[in-house]
Amino acid sequence: MKLKATLLGAAAILAMAGAAFAERGSDGHVNVLYWQAPSILNPYLSGGTKDLESSSLILEPLAGFDEKGALFPRLATEIPTVENGGLAKDLTSITWKLKPDLKWSDGTPVTSADVKFSYDYCKAPDGGCAQASKYEGIKSVETPDATTVVVTFDAPKPNPYLAFVGATSPIIQKAQFEKCLGAAAPTCTEANNGPIGTGPFKVVSFKTNDTVELEANPNYRDPAKPAFATMTLKGGGDAEAAARAVMETGEFDYAWNTQVNPELQTQMTAGGKGHFVNGFGTLVERIEMNLTDPSSDLPEGERSTVKHPHPILSDINVRKALSMAIDRQALVDVGYGTAGQPTCNLVPAPEAYASDNTGCLKQDMAGAKKLLDDAGWKPGADGIREKDGKKLHILFQTSVNPVRQDFQSLIKSWWTDLGVDVELKSVDASVFFGGDAGSPDTFQKFYADVEMYANNFDGTDPEAYLAGYKCDKIPSPATQWQGENINRFCNADYDKLAAEMSATADIAKRGELAKKMNDMLTKDSMTIVPLVDRGRLSATSNTLGGVVLNVWDSELWNAQDWTRTK
């Protein structure tokens, strides 16, 4: 994949570069709206998307992902592969070469020491580096010369493109952050809010959670770029107001994440000032089934633990019937419009990893009823199905969010039709996703029968994402309720596949394994019921050229290619 992807990426960049004849700064000013404003421009100190994407204008990694998910070199000369000798055959080390004559925006040269420092910065103890997982399994980072970086891994690393790849692990300037290691990180406010970088823009002023004023980086490696001399990145308000500012008032050229309901999308597009751009990544809205008993009758510490299997959801027929009763297209139409598509996969993309199963797309109420009838779940006097004295009663929780509440009531109506008694519950997002071990309402604790939320994986490789469903990732009191395997799914075969994947480098083989694991979780067991593949929806002005929505990396990944069209 690597060579081909690299070439494709390079070709895409060339094509766009060709379109831009203008010299640097000739197109004046561009206004970008991030309704969730950046709090900090150091992505290592914040995992927030808004912070990562804003900082991607300034800081760059060695390589990034293009809109198709393919790797392309940014600060590196090329993507190291086994073929070009950059990647060791045993996958234990990778050698990156920096482009010659790279300069920071302050004019000093970029060297391999800066790359190594970025690693040291994130690995420093007590720093609370948000991107620490990118640098896991690295034994050492060596700098044989000023432009060469050799990363050595503890063990063969089938996916060596984590460190220094993508907006989540950019290169920061050693000179600027040298004194900010570890616990000292928060004391470097000036550096955190105004990092010196290699990207197309540099920070002029930064107002926390409000505005970043940027100007073209005078030392950007392409002398013709960026076309815009200055940029304002403004925050505040909500998605709808942000969409209006681009689509209706024309005050802004680009607005990030303008997720509004389908009806408003149509209405705003009619304004004629701008258009929505969308792209589909790996974010999947899904229903997770709890395979353990969340009953409040159980003593605290045993609820939702593997000690007690779920009384009804342990029956695969029930899980399957619940999935069959859902009309996924209807959910898309109600909640996302063009920014969503129905899916049956936990890993819907990239192509190499996406399973082809589509069996769930068509609602099959009759089939679902029959399945339950055959499995012995017969409607009781009150219309609720029951078996062995156990009623099909389900507590369905999710976070507070208008679309999710719409989904909840739609799904409830289908399930009620099926003969299932559904009780709905919604929890404030900050609690639901807060991960506070003391709260009974976190999604990890899962004190409900089913729950709905969305999740995705970073970059293009699902290995870690799928490994989250291994038996040892089950949240429990022993792990302070931390862990990704919130369904409490445990299957020795699955664990074996996950182990195999972590030792496999061949892309085709990896794809096969990923699809198999995806199917085990979805189609085969309906432990996870995927609903909607949620795309990104952003708004762009009709006078802004060069916008290519990228769901695999920062949305502002190609801001250097943006131009003003008349």
**Where on the chain is the footprint of another protein (CB under 8 A)?**
33, 37, 39-40, 42, 45-49, 126-133, 183, 185-187, 189, 192-193, 205, 207-211, 213, 232, 234-238, 241, 244-245, 248-249, 251-252, 428-436, 439, 441, 455-458, 464, 480, 482-484
- CA dihedral over 179, 183, 185, 189, signed as positive or negative: negative
Residue 555 in contact with residue 66, Cβ under 8 Å? no
In the complex, minimum distance from the CB of residue 475 to another protein, in angstroms, rounded to a whole number: 8
Cβ proximity to another protein, 41 vs 150, nearer residue: 41
For residue 533, what are the contacts with CB-CB under 8 A and spacing of at least 6? 280, 283, 284, 340, 341, 342, 343, 345, 348, 349
Alpha helix locations (H) across 396-506? Answer: 402-418, 429-432, 463-467, 492-501
To 10 degrees, what angle do helices 328-335 and 402-418 make?
A: 150
Distant-in-sequence, close-in-space partners of 183: CB < 8 Å, separation ≥ 6: 126, 127
CB of 360 to another protein, least distance (A): 23
d(CA 468, CA 492): 14
Cβ–Cβ under 8 Å, residues 424 and 449? no
User: For residues 211 and 37, is the Cβ–Cβ distance under 8 A?
Assistant: yes
Residue among 39 and 118 whose Cβ is closer to another protein: 39
Q: How far is the CB of 473 from another protein (least distance, A)?
A: 9
From CA 44, how far away is CA 51, in angstroms rounded?
10
Instruction: Decide whether 175 or 431 has the Cβ nearer to another protein.
Output: 431
* Least gap, CB of 241 to another protein (angstroms): 7
Selection from 36, 68, 59, 63 nearest residue 49 by Cα: 36
* Closer Cβ to another protein, 128 or 379, answer by number: 128
Strand partners, 232: 31, 213
From the CB of 361, what's the least distance to another protein, in Å? 25
Residues 109, 102: contact at Cβ < 8 Å? yes
Q: How far is the CB of 239 from another protein (least distance, A)?
A: 13
* Shortest Å distance, C-beta 281 to another protein: 11
Strands 148-153 and 393-399: unpaired
Q: In whole angstroms, give the CA distance from residue 408 to residue 422.
A: 10
CB of 9 to another protein, least distance (A): 22
| 3-state SS, one letter per residue, for 156-179 | CCCCCCCCCECCCCCCCCHHHHHH
Measured from the CB atom, the residue of 386 and 463 that comes closer to another protein is 463
Shortest CB 127 distance to another protein, Å = 6
SS3 365: helix
Nearer to another protein by C-beta: 380 or 435?
435
Q: Can you tell me which residue has the tokens 């940014």?
A: 74
Task: Pick the closer one to another protein by CB: 40 or 529.
Answer: 40
CB of 416 to another protein, least distance (A): 30
| CB-nearer residue toward another protein: 166 or 337 | 166
Q: Which residues face 46 on adjacent strands?
A: none
Q: To which H or E segment does residue 423 belong?
A: strand 421-427
- Beta bridge mates, 278: 537
Least distance to another protein, CB of residue 130, Å:
6
Q: What is the CB neighbour count within 10 angstroms for residue 190?
A: 11
Q: Measured from the CB of residue 46, what is the shortest distance to another protein in angstroms?
A: 7
Q: Is 236 left (phi over 0), alpha (psi -120 to 50) or beta?
A: left
Q: How far apart are CA 546 and CA 556, in angstroms?
A: 11
164 versus 377: smaller Cβ distance to another protein: 164
Cα–Cα distance for residue pair 518/234, rounded to 1 Å: 39
Nearer to another protein, 108 or 232 (CB): 232
> What is the Cα 314 distance to its own chain's centre?
30
Closest CB to another protein among 336 and 453?
453
CB-based burial label for 65 (10 Å; 0-12, 13-18, 19+):
buried
Taking the complex as a whole, how short is the minimal distance between the CB of residue 51 and another protein, in angstroms?
9
Closest CA to 165 of 135, 145, 199: 135
- Minimum CB separation of residue 18 from another protein in Å reads 34
Rounded to whole angstroms, the Cα distance separating 69 from 336 reads 23
Judged by beta carbon, residue 375 or residue 454, the one nearer another protein is 454
- Helix (H) or strand (E) segment spanning residue 453: strand 450-455
When the beta carbons of 45 and 312 are compared against another protein, the nearer one is 45
Q: 67 or 248, CB closer to another protein?
A: 248
What's the CA gap between 454 and 66, in Å, rounded?
23
